Each structure stands twice: as C-alpha cells, then as structure tokens.
Structure 1
Amino acid sequence: MTDKTPAPRIPLTPHTPHTPLTVLGAGAMGTALVRAWLAAGHPVTVWNRTPARAEALAAEGATVARTAAEAVSANRLVIVCLLDDASVGAALDGVDLTGRDLVNLTTGTPADGRTRAAWATARGARFLDGGIMAVPPMIGDTDSGGYVFYSGSSALFTEHRDTLAVPAGTRYVGEDPGFAALHDVALLSAMTGMFAGVSHAFALIRREDIAPGDFAPLLASWLTAMAPAVHLTAEQLERGDYSHGVVSNLAMQVAGNATLLRTAEEQGVSTELLTPYMGLMERWLAEGHGEEDGTGVVELLDVGRGGAGA
C-alpha cells in the first residue's frame, strides 16, 4: 500500500515578516526580484547557472549557492525564475523537493503550469505558478503598477502572500495551476494586437509632414478612449447576445474597412497587419450577423468549437 502520509514541512513561523527564501535564476528579472527581497530585509539564497551573475548579488547581501540543490535545501520557500520550462526541469532534475514551497515565475504556457504542478506535487512540494505582468525596472517599485498572477496551491499563496507581494502586487486567479499563465498570455496577446495597430498607424503617417512625437499623444488618448469597449465585449459573451449594446454594427464596420485599406494603399503601406482580422469580420458578416457587434469573431477563433483553424 502506498504511504499517503503528508510529507513533513520545514518548520517556519507563519507570517514571519522577513521570511528567508531561495531564488533560482539571476537574469534580469531574477536579479530584480532578489534585490527587492533583500531591500525589504528578507534573507535570500540565490543560484544561477552562470555563477558570475549570482556572485554580483553577494555584495548586496545574498547568499550564493554553488548548486541548485544546495540553494533549494537552504529554504522552504523556493522561487524559480529561469529562461523556460525546460530550464526549470533541468535545474531541478534530481533535486529533493520534499517539504518545499515551489513558486515558478518562469514564463510558460497553461499546459506547462499544469504539468509542472503535477511534477512538483509528485516530488513532495506544494506548487504555485506565476505570470509576471511587469518588466524588471518595475519590480520593487510600489507605484509602477506591476503585479504577478498566481495560480495553484491556495494554501501556499495564503501563507506566503506578504512575502510574494514585496517585489510586485499579487493577483491569485485560482487553484488550476494553468490559470496564471493563461491570464498572462491572454493579456500579452491583446498587447501584441495593440502594438500591431500602433505600428500600422505610424506607418501611415511616416512619409508625411507629421511628427511622430506630435501624433503619439493623439494615438495614446484614442486607444485609452477605446479600451473600455472590452467590458461590452465581456458582457456580450456572458449574455450570449452579440447584439446587446451595439453602437456600430458589424455591417457598418466591414463597410468602413474599405476606407482603411484604400488609405493604406494610397500611403504605400502594407495591409498585412489588418487583413487577417478584417477577413474574420467579413466571414461573420457573411453568416448573417450584420446587426451584431464584432464579438462573434471570438467564436471563429475558437478552434474547439469549429472556429478558424478547425
């Protein structure tokens, strides 16, 4: 019979103001995290595959471990911030994780998070996955607006919430270990689409006597004004009614696309950033949804429901 007795946890007084912790990874983000915790008075043990990067933190008060195993053995709370999921597996291969609280801040996919959670649990650790919504200069700056999505063990998150909140804000999004990465990538995907539109806008004015610096505030304010539309999209999706609250219907939007394409042609600008989305709009219109908003495009993208890639 398999022994299901819970692995013993390493003693630690709950809510200790200066919880000791280990950080695996001293790249740009890992270094920023270490410095934030050190500045707040937390004893930090750090390891990096390239020792020189970790050694640079020794002068700031960090304890440098020679190996990942040594670093993990030093503290119950272990933060991992490496290049990718494969790097996490390689660094922790053969390392005893029994009784550890493993918080993985390495960028990955939802499947990576779920698989790594099962892997860690099988090795006697509690697991929390994270998605960092910040760049290194924002870490440790309480006014930067940066935060980290966390998902996985709610008990781990609750116990270490104060410590995790030192480098950046915290947002727990559920027990499913894949949810942190999913939230992270969904927001980054929206950002990518926005930057595509920004690139196209600047390309349109590039050859004219319009200073990009003068145009930028107009672009920023317009995007800011349009951003609240996401709330209507969410409401339409939840209602299952894409005609709810429509201001400019799909038929009108598709008709207007012709002007955008013609202007790009006149300005000598490629339309390759616009046409994929416009093509989806035209497909939804052709299926008889002209009086709706453009929210139906979400259905076309959903491969599992017979969408664009099905």
Structure 2
Amino acid sequence: MHQVHPFQYKRVYSGSVKAVICDWAGTTVDFGSVAPIRAFQALFESHGVSASEAEAREPMGTEKSEHIRRMLAMPAIQKQWQASKGRASTEEDVQALYHEFLPMQIESIRANSALIPGWLVSAQTLREQGIKLGGNTGYSTEMYQALAEVAREYGYVADANVCATEVSKGRPYPYMSQAVMEKLEVAEAQACVKVDDTETGIEEGLNAGMWTVAVAISGNANGLTQPEWDSLNEGQQQVIRKKSYQRMAMSGAHYVIDSVADLPEVVADINEKLAKGIQP
C-alpha cells in the first residue's frame, strides 16, 4: 500500500517580474477615469434618470453591460426609471441601454484618453528590463479599439490586451488576466503584476495569484481630472490622498501608489521579494 505524504508541494518562483498587466481608464489613460462616467450619466439622462457621479462610479471596473445592470439595481435609480417608464427595468432594457451606450462611450473615450503622466517613462523603464506590458479592460473590443488608437497617437502600444467581452466572465474573475498571460506567453502568475484603479480590478489580480498594485490618485478612488487635481493646494491633495489610499488599501492590494509613474520602484521591490522566495 502506498503511503500518502501529509504535505503538498508548492512551487516557489524566485525569478524576476516578467509581465505587468495594467487596466486602462484611470490606470494608464484617462486621469480620473472620467470617460465612462460621463457616458453613463449621459445615457441615463437620455431616459429621464439623473445618476450622480458616485452612483456611476460604484460599479467601475466591471464589464459595461454588468455596470448598467448594477446601476439599474440601485434603489434611487430604479425609482427614477419606474417614474420615467411606468414599469420596472428588465434584462431587455439592460441590453438596449448597452447598445445605446456603445457610441456614447466611444465618443467619450476619444475625448478623454490621454496617457497618465509618467506612464511612457515607466513603460520604457520596464521594457528595458525585459518586462512585457499587457492590458485588460471592462471595455468591449469596439471601445478598446478607439482607446488603443488614441493611446497609439500618444506613443504607447500594449504588447497584448484582453477585453471583458472576450472572456466568459469579467472582473472580479481572473480570466482576463490569465488570458493576457497566455498571449504574453508567461507561465508563472507569481511573475505577473496586476495594476488597477478599482477594487474589482485588484480582486481580479488577487484571484489570478498575481502581485497587485492599486493606483489611488489617477483613477476612480480620486475621480478628479488632471486639471482639477493640479488646482488643489498641497493640503487639499493630502486630504484626498489619505482617503484614496485607505480605500484602495482595503481592496487587499499588495501595494498602493499615486499612479503608474511610481510603478518601476514597486517592481524593483517585488523583484527583491521574489529573490527571497516571497510569493504574492
């Protein structure tokens, strides 16, 4: 009779980071992640529903039809919908709204997808280390095509990208990040870093077994555009920074930073941890 050993073997990866997988809006482009918010607010306004910025931001990071579904489930929005339409919303309404949303979102993306300051320098620094740069997003493929075109005009092209509509389930499921790993031909999740500005995006990276880095200032947790942020004095910025850092730390991220401009230092720290056998 064979003896069963009372332990499991766990492989320890001690190499360096091979891939960094970044979200797009609020992480690598669109400071403040305003493109989706403006489009969602305009969409609901066209149906007689006034959605606040906080309501529009709450489901951020999810696939966009799911985002609409969650907004309609909010009591205040559902109440307005019923007052406007004379009935409760249905799944057919979700799909109809999504098709209306597509051109509105694409137009908003084209107007609000400048690169996050410092990203080109960070991307070059990481690529010089042999690190591959992937992307994933709650945007559909049509939305991503518009975004990628703008990013290319600013000088950045990802090595691979996966959209939420290309996998069976979007965030917080790990499938998008895993699909990017496959495209980049990286076998070890421990060698990957997932960077995101939403809690659900960080959860995606954690579920994939990756290192996770939350950006607190450039994205959804802050919600201010670059000019709005720059107009604040240092004291005002510190108040918002503290609140945004606390919020993103609650996501379980391994690291919280202002923006991707700070990413090379984080990757260097992760490399030191990996060399010591520390795993995400």
**TM-score normalised by the chain length of structure 1:** 0.32
Q: Which structure: larger Rg?
A: 1
The alignment's TM-score, normalised by the length of structure 2, stands at 0.35
